[in-house]
Amino acid sequence: MSENEKIKKISIVVSKGSLEGVYPGLIMANGARMEGIEVNVFFTFFGMDAITKSKMNNIKVATVGNPAMGIPTLIGAIPGMSSFATNKMKKKMEELDIPPVPEFIEMISDAGGKLYACLATVEMFNLKKEDFCEELDGILTVGDFYKLAAGGEIIFT
């Protein structure tokens, strides 16, 4: 592969607030930074839970309506099932040395990745800049995000 064919910049959209919705974007962003690729992560809708101080430590596995869980929705709706699945997944992630969400956000930021919240979603959920973790680089419109993403790849998780 020639130098011109290598990816130089990616922009990742994180839109889901469940554990299995947030981690793919974080893992891809961290991996890209480790490869020297410029990274912008744009959090929108419930994906913003990963950068919201009051929620980033409490992200859970979605057990209802998640066909990948391999359990019927009715079973997934049993009280405590989401907590059980979340604890099980977090334990496995810890064994694999995958950091918790706040630590992952900090790692990406420290490695030079840029983290942004979606202005429309911020306004819709009545959030303010101080509601977010300190690693947040800004609150952008979709148009501003596209300007940042220009010339690179966009990944929607």
**What CATH number is given to the structural domain containing 146?**
3.40.1260.10
pLDDT at 60: 85
31, part of any domain: yes
Domain, as residue range, for 131: 9-60+100-156
User: Structural domain tally of the chain?
Assistant: 1
User: What average pLDDT does range 67-89 have in this prediction?
Assistant: 69
19, part of any domain: yes
pTM: 0.86
145, part of any domain: yes
Side-chain-side CA neighbours of residue 95 (13 Å): 6
User: What average pLDDT does range 70-80 have in this prediction?
Assistant: 67
27, part of any domain: yes
pLDDT digits (tens, 9 = 90+) for 35-67: 999 999 999 999 999 999 999 998 887 766 666
39, part of any domain: yes
Sequence-ordered list of residues with C-beta below 8 angstroms from that of 104, at least 6 positions apart, any chain: 23, 26, 30, 98
pLDDT digits (tens, 9 = 90+) for 9-40: 999 999 999 888 999 999 999 999 999 999 99
pLDDT at 95: 85
Q: Which two tokens stand for residue 12?
A: 């990742």
**b/e burial code for range 127-137 (CB count within 10 A of at least 16 → b):** beeebbbebbe
Residue 108 — very low, low, confident or very high, per pLDDT cuts 50/70/90?
A: very high
pLDDT at 2: 58
Q: Is the pLDDT reported for residue 87 higher than 80?
A: no
Residues linked to residue 40 through DSSP beta bridges, in sequence order: 11, 114
71, part of any domain: no
Quote the strand ranges of the chain, DSSP E: 9-14, 38-43, 114-118, 138-140, 153-156
Q: How many CB atoms lie within 10 A of CB 95?
A: 8
- Indicate the average pLDDT of the chain: 89
86, part of any domain: no
pLDDT digits (tens, 9 = 90+) for 132-143: 999 999 999 999
16 vs 49: CA distance, rounded Å: 8
75, part of any domain: no
